[in-house]
Amino acid sequence: MGTRMEPARVRRRPMSMRLGMRFSPLLLAAGLTAAVAGCASATAPRPAPSPVEARGVAAIEPAADPRPFGAADTAFGLDVLRAWCAQYPGKNLVFSPSTLASALGMAYAGAHGATAAAMASVLHLPAAGGTNLAAGLQARADALGALGGPGVTLAPSDEVWADPSLPPLTSYLNAVATGYRAGLAKAPFLSDQAKAADEVNAAIAAATRGHIPHLVSPGMLSDVGWVLTSALYMNAKWATPFDPAKTTKDDFTLANGKTVLPFYLEGKGFAYARAAGWTAVDLPYKGGKLTMTALLPPAGSASGSCALPSQAALTSLTAVLRGRGLGASSIQGAASSAEVDLPKVSLSTGGDPGDMKPVLQRLGMGVAFTAQADFTGLSKLAGNLAFVQQAATLQVAEKGTVAAAAAAVGVTPTSAEVNPVTVRFDRPYLMLVTATSTGEPLFLAEVADPTAS
């Protein structure tokens, strides 16, 4: 990554000018890679040839509304972050709810009985089945695939990996081709775990433009016959870039009361809203298809684990920010003239914190990891889930956002105000990157310390 000289001056603002905010980026994308525009590595590897050997038949389903799936993935993302924060209090956490939902959704496509019911509940899947569910998932995939444009690169990639001796059922491949545009790739999971890990990691690295070079290890692949992966790369420029000359250092108060000195981006003219003590600011990207919403919790709510808005509060806030009505009477202060001080961040999560199995078990998906699991819709030889691993990176800078995320699921075989308002994110906060038309959450992040990765 190229380097540049940062401004050396330290800014001190009068207390009367500050509205402190703890910012936790919310990124909803299962397997999503994002990088700050203009900050991508000049030596990033070229995408490798696709490992996909075959695809199922993507059925043409009746047109459906993808927005219920955006709401479902957002609710799932909030649940995951709440449980994850409890496991890793005070840590920076970033993931893609959308990508994680896609990887688990491909597993759900092969689930039956109690396993399917538990997964549907945790994933908040809309109450639709059969053709209606397939149509909704296809609309979700189509909407994700249409989010790119001038100044915005967004590239999703979902695949089913199978050991050559364990071909998935044709009906399963057709279902994931319809709902996730996923194809079939082969890797020697049962005979050469090191080679299989290299092949999966190479494909993920290519899909994320080198931002997620390592997702699975040979040890994770013991007794695994299938791996379901979802990846997403995002490089999006702000609709209104921040002026680098105004980037300065200032205090940020951690949950434990200590202070650090991150660089702050300074801008104005951003829509904001307040509800249930929360303050939200929308930072749109070029083209208007994507938006980052920065969420500052009520003062005094910072603790060892992150504060999160309710689904109702988040829905009301985004409705006001995007001009869809006031909703609840507690909504206040929608405006187009808020000034924002937002920390520059470079976040990454992977390794042990990227192990989603404990989180999913806590949320109610435990049966999927036991001998009682039923994934025979994938293959008559499918057993239970062995692991759910995710990794993500998120960089926020003057020109835009670069982010990347990837998720892998292993399956065992059997055998407004008048006066200007300044919103200052100078304590832990959330960040949420969404598709403005569907609400699909591409990235979700908790920023506990903007000076740490």
Alpha carbons within 13 A on the beta-carbon side of 438: 26
CATH number at residue 117: 3.30.497.10
What pLDDT does residue 394 have?
A: 96
- Classify 59 as helix, strand or coil: coil
Residues in the chain, overall count: 453
pLDDT in tens, 147-171: 999 999 999 999 999 999 999 999 9
Is residue 181 domain-resident?
yes
Is residue 122 domain-resident?
yes
- Is 448 in contact with 341 (CB distance < 8 Å)? no
Is residue 383 domain-resident?
yes
The C-alpha atoms of residue 344 and residue 42 are separated, in whole angstroms, by 20
pLDDT at 29 over 50: no
| Burial zone of 52 (CB within 10 Å; 0-12 exposed, 13-18 middle, 19+ buried) | middle
- Average pLDDT rounded to a whole number, residues 290-318: 82
pLDDT in tens, 218-229: 999 999 999 999
**Is this structure's pTM higher than 0.75?**
yes
Residue with tokens 């808005």: 309
- Band of residue 448 on the pLDDT scale cut at 50, 70, 90: very high
The C-alpha atoms of residue 409 and residue 425 are separated, in whole angstroms, by 35
pLDDT at 217 over 80: yes
The region that residue 120 occupies, defined by phi over 0 for left and psi between -120 and 50 for alpha, beta otherwise, is alpha
The C-alpha atoms of residue 425 and residue 419 are separated, in whole angstroms, by 19
Domain count of the fold of the chain? 1
Helix, strand, coil tally for the chain in percent (to 5): 25, 30, 40
How far is residue 88 CA from its own chain's centroid? 18
Is residue 424 domain-resident?
no
Please name every residue paired with 236 in a beta bridge, in sequence order, or none if there are none: 401
Amino acid at 307: A
pLDDT in tens, 240-260: 999 999 999 999 999 888 999
Is residue 79 domain-resident?
no
Higher per-residue confidence, 220 vs 23: 220
Is residue 415 domain-resident?
no
- Band of residue 32 on the pLDDT scale cut at 50, 70, 90: very low
Is residue 185 domain-resident?
yes
Higher per-residue confidence, 247 vs 127: 247
Is residue 106 domain-resident?
yes
The parent domain of residue 221 ranges over 97-235+353-395
Residue with tokens 């995951």: 80
Beta-sheet strands, E only, within 24-68: 26-27, 33-34, 54-55
